[in-house]
């Protein structure tokens, strides 16, 4: 029983090592390196696009909150949200004439 177990373990390790060696050899060929470079370029393009989209979304949100027009907006489209408008209000304090409360 012990010999069979060690035989199976050795055979499994050999198959695993052969598969790893085949993958490593393929990765170091011209086609493999080209595939890796293409995948890296695609990943960088996707990251750039995601960052640009996030930046545009954040800018749109800030412009909406502040009531600042986007570069292509006409003046009629602009309306500052009601809760961001500055209300004209008087600021008075309740102090007596002696300056003490």
Lowest mean pLDDT among 16-30, 47-61, 71-85: 71-85
Q: Using an 8 Å Cβ cutoff, are 67 and 84 in contact?
A: yes
CB within 8 A of 68, min separation 6: which ones?
Answer: 62
Q: List the chain domain ranges.
A: 2-67
> pLDDT tens, 88-97?
454 555 555 5
Higher pLDDT, 99 or 66: 66
Q: What is the pLDDT of residues 23-41, one digit of tens each?
A: 999 888 999 899 999 999 9
| Whole-angstrom distance, CA of residue 67 vs CA of residue 56 | 16
Least confident segment among 5-19, 24-38, 54-68, 83-97: 83-97
Smallest CA-to-CA distance from 73 within 82, 64, 65 is with 64
Q: Which residues contact 64 (CB under 8 A, 6 or more apart)?
A: 81
For the chain, report the end-to-end CA distance as a whole number of angstroms.
Answer: 97
| Cα dihedral value 67, 69, 74, 76, nearest 10 | 10
Q: Is the pTM of this model over 0.85?
A: no
């Amino acid at each position: 029983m012990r010999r069979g177990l060690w035989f199976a373990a050795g055979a499994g390790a050999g198959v695993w090592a052969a598969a790893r060696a085949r993958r490593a050899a393929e990765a170091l060929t011209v086609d493999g390196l080209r595939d890796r470079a293409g995948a890296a370029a695609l990943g960088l393009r996707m990251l750039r696009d995601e960052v640009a989209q996030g930046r545009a979304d954040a800018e749109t949100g800030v412009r909406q909150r502040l009531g600042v027009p986007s570069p292509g907006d006409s003046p009629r489209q602009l309306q500052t949200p009601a809760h961001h408008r500055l209300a004209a209000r008087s600021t008075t304090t309740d102090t007596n004439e002696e300056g003490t409360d």
